[in-house]
Amino acid sequence: MKEVMKNERKRTFLLITIPILALFVCFNTIPLIRGVIYSFTNFKGFGKYNWVGFQNYLDLFTDARVGKSYWFTFKLAIVSTIVTNVISLILALGLNSKIRAKSFFRGAYFLPNILGALVVGYIFNYFFTYILPAAAQMIGIKGLSTSILSNPSAAWIGIMVVCAWQAIAMNTIIYISGLQTVPEDVYEAGGLDGATGWKQFRYLTFPLIIPFFSINMVLCVKNFLMVFDQIMALTKGGPAQSTESISYLIYNNGMSGGQFGFQSANAVVFFIVIVIVSVAQMKFSSSKEEQL
Amino acid sequence: MTKKNTNVHTNKVAMVLLILGLSTIIFPLYLTIVIAFKQPSEMTNSISGILSLPKSWSLNNFREAMEVTDFWRSLGNSLLITLIAVGLSIVVHSLMGYALGRNKAKSKFYSFVYLFIVSGMFVPFAILMMPLAKQTAEMGLANWFGVILLYVVFYMPMNVLLYSGYLVNIPMALEEAAKVDGASTWRTYWKIIFPIMRPMHATVAVLTALSVWNDVMTPLVIMAGSGQNTLPLAQLNFQSQFGTNYNLAFASYLLALIPILIFYIICQKQILNGVVNGAVK
């Protein structure tokens, strides 16, 4: 009797797992493998193609446009991550302090996160193109009197601002939930030892919310490395290809630029980079947490 | 007595700074609203011309923007895709989370499947995009239904992780009690486990809904040839038709933002809880 029930349980679990696993393999694993296979061909996206071995990979490392997109994407990811986390932490400390209308403020500051990045990008596009230059002219700041989005060396800052604007909302909420885990008596005990202000933050608060700091770092870096919508809405990779993120380049040249095979190789390298960065971050943060 | 007083005292500096900071959130929204209601003739190149309130609050821009972007159809598509994707995610991912969560500790097969699926989180869409565009076309899935299937696959790693993590808190004794009564595993799941996982369903629903609703890339790559749009995709595809009529464009942006704004105003608490739960777990 017991044996029959055990078999029934086993069978049910298998009947659940196998079809769902098959779905996952069909739309995640197989395309992944196909992507790797295409990366060894000169496929244009249509017609016939030949095997080219590692040629695409060799070409990747000498392709200036690909190199530029990696440089841009990493620059954007690192600067946005720093800006986002600094502002979010300050904002979270403010929102967690003794203020009135706490839930209103928290709700309002989270708002940017729920809005679609594409539409937000279009709105900021207008802001950078018309409003910011007009405002700069009025006050008399020469450097800002033309749109930063049309300046190859400054367009990335515009994209960074939009990325940060939305990510701050998310990170702040996570920091707030971290700050709420710090018990009040820690501050009271610290206060007796003279830990207030910056000292209190540096030696009491921050070490206690390090797990939340790690979550935010991982979230930020991963999302920013995959940036796409904001590029579509703000610059479409321009001016002078100065803001082509890796995802944008793969989409643009791979889907319609006849570089299906070559951009597949780019995507494989990008995948490996994402895995390395994520694993390194997790190793680093878990070693930090162990120290505590 | 005095101590209590200082505790209730509000932090005035923080209040002032927070109110000032709020302008960075409100300003872009204000900008969107005033431009959406204005006529092109009211837009001068000076800041005051752009930012002043419109002369009349006419809805003409919205009417025209709705026509240009085929608003109702795009909205319908977005709603359909989001609702079905969320519903399927809750059913499929909770089942998978249950099967894997209950077995991964004692079975090599299940722990391998668990790791295999969860590590799907590291796969960027960029590498799947080109093969998937081909594959969905070959399978006749280059449409909204294909997009839904892909969402169920893309959010599986995260959601399975959440569900199987939540399952640890649900004691086996509950299931065993049902089994004594002769209920099958399948029945026990729907009668006992599925309802108990309700807090996690809320988290999964919020996370999946927000990501699906705002996603541009998947429909862009998969549905491009189908003649159908989602709300964000319509913005992208009709962008060039607005030309320099920014009033029309902004009316269309505002229309695209309104549904999610309404959703946020109604379910703000659930959304905040869901997002925090999803990230912290």
Q: Where are the domains of chain B?
A: 2-58, 69-280
Contact map slice: A 153-182 vs B, CB within 8 A: 165, 170, 173-174, 177
**Are B185 and A215 inside 8 Å of each other by CB?**
no
**Are B47 and A170 inside 8 Å of each other by CB?**
no
| A43 vs A57: CA distance, rounded Å | 14
Decide if A279 contacts A195 (C-beta within 8 A).
no
* pLDDT of B3 above 80: no
Q: In which band, very low, low, confident or very high, does the pLDDT at A292 lie, cut at 50, 70 and 90?
A: low
Q: Measure CB to CB from residue B130 to each of A20, A100, A263 and give the nearest one.
A: A263
Weakest-pLDDT range from A199-203, A229-233, B102-106: A199-203
Residue of B nearest to A257 (CA): B130
The distance of B38 to chain A (nearest Cα, Å) reads 15
**Are B134 and A34 inside 8 Å of each other by CB?**
yes
Instruction: Identify the CATH number of the domain defined by range B69-280.
Output: 1.10.3720.10
pLDDT at residue number B8: 54
Instruction: Kindly report, residue by residue over B114-126, the tens digit of the pLDDT.
Output: 999 999 999 999 9
**Are A23 and B149 inside 8 Å of each other by CB?**
yes
Contact residues, chain B, for A173 at CB < 8 Å: 272, 275-276
pLDDT at residue number A114: 94
- Which range has highest mean pLDDT (A22-36, A45-59, A208-222)? A22-36
Q: Is A280 on the interface with B (CB under 8 A)?
A: no
Share of chain A above pLDDT 90, in %: 65
Q: What 3 state SS string does B27-76 have?
A: HHHHHHHHHHHCCHHHCCCCHHHHHCCCCCCCCHHHHHHHHHCCHHHHHH
Contact residues, chain A, for B113 at CB < 8 Å: 17, 21
Share of chain B above pLDDT 70, in %: 96
**Are B279 and A229 inside 8 Å of each other by CB?**
no
Q: Measure CB to CB from residue A117 to each of B130, B134, B214 and give the nearest one.
A: B214
Contact residues, chain A, for B272 at CB < 8 Å: 106-107, 110, 173
pLDDT at residue number B95: 97
Q: Measure CB to CB from residue A134 to each of B28, B46, B132 and give the nearest one.
A: B46
Domain ranges for chain A, please list them: 39-117+155-291
**Are B272 and A100 inside 8 Å of each other by CB?**
no
Instruction: Kindly report, residue by residue over B203-224, the tens digit of the pLDDT.
Output: 999 999 999 999 999 999 999 8
The distance of A258 to chain B (nearest Cα, Å) reads 12
Share of chain B above pLDDT 90, in %: 64
Identify the CA nearest to B223 among candidates B159, B129, B156: B129
Residue of A nearest to B266 (CA): A107
- Residue position matching structure tokens 């909770």: B94
* pLDDT of A193 above 80: no
Identify the CA nearest to B125 among candidates A225, A233, A241: A225
Q: Measure CB to CB from residue B271 to each of A32, A109, A114 and give the nearest one.
A: A114
Q: Measure CB to CB from residue A270 to each of B124, B152, B253 and give the nearest one.
A: B124
Residues 6+ apart with CB under 8 A from B129: A250, A251, A254, A255, A267, B217, B221
The distance of A152 to chain B (nearest Cα, Å) reads 23
| B239 vs B236: CA distance, rounded Å | 5
Q: In which band, very low, low, confident or very high, does the pLDDT at B14 lie, cut at 50, 70 and 90?
A: confident
CATH H-level, domain A39-117+155-291: superfamily: MetI-like (1.10.3720.10)
pLDDT at residue number A220: 92
Contact residues, chain A, for B95 at CB < 8 Å: 16, 20
What mean pLDDT is predicted for residues B224-250? 86
pTM: 0.91
Contact map slice: A 210-229 vs B, CB within 8 A: 212, 215, 219, 225-226, 228-229
Residue B100 corresponds to which amino acid? L
What mean pLDDT is predicted for residues B101-112? 93
The complex's ipTM works out to: 0.90
Instruction: Kindly report, residue by residue over B143-200, the tens digit of the pLDDT.
Output: 999 999 999 999 999 999 999 999 988 988 888 888 788 888 899 999 999 999 999 9
CB atoms within 10 A of CB B26: 11
B9 exposure class (CB count in 10 Å sphere: 0-12, 13-18, 19+): exposed
| A41 vs A59: CA distance, rounded Å | 13
pLDDT at residue number A269: 96
Q: What 3 state SS string does chain B have?
A: CHHHHHHHCCCHHHHHHHHHHHHHHHHHHHHHHHHHHCCHHHCCCCHHHHHCCCCCCCCHHHHHHHHHCCHHHHHHHHHHHHHHHHHHHHHHHHHHHHHHHHHCCCCHHHHHHHHHHHHHHHCCHHHHHHHHHHHHHHCCCCCHHHHHHHHHHHCHHHHHHHHHHHHCCCCHHHHHHHHHCCCCHHHHHHHHHHHHCHHHHHHHHHHHHHHHHHCCHHHHHHCHHHCCCCHHHHHHHHHHHHCCCHHHHHHHHHHHHHHHHHHHHHCHHHHHHHHHHHHHC
pLDDT at residue number A1: 55
Contact residues, chain B, for A229 at CB < 8 Å: 216-217, 232
Q: In which band, very low, low, confident or very high, does the pLDDT at B2 lie, cut at 50, 70 and 90?
A: very low
Residue of B nearest to A128 (CA): B28
User: Rounded to 10 degrees, what is the CA torsion of B266, B269, B274, B279?
Assistant: 130
Contact residues, chain B, for A260 at CB < 8 Å: 130
**Are B184 and A173 inside 8 Å of each other by CB?**
no
**Are B130 and A255 inside 8 Å of each other by CB?**
yes
The distance of A278 to chain B (nearest Cα, Å) reads 8
- Which range has highest mean pLDDT (A1-10, B51-60, B204-213)? B204-213
What mean pLDDT is predicted for residues A262-267? 95
* pLDDT of A52 above 60: yes
Weakest-pLDDT range from A12-16, A266-270, B277-281: B277-281
pLDDT at residue number A290: 62
Q: In which band, very low, low, confident or very high, does the pLDDT at B1 lie, cut at 50, 70 and 90?
A: very low
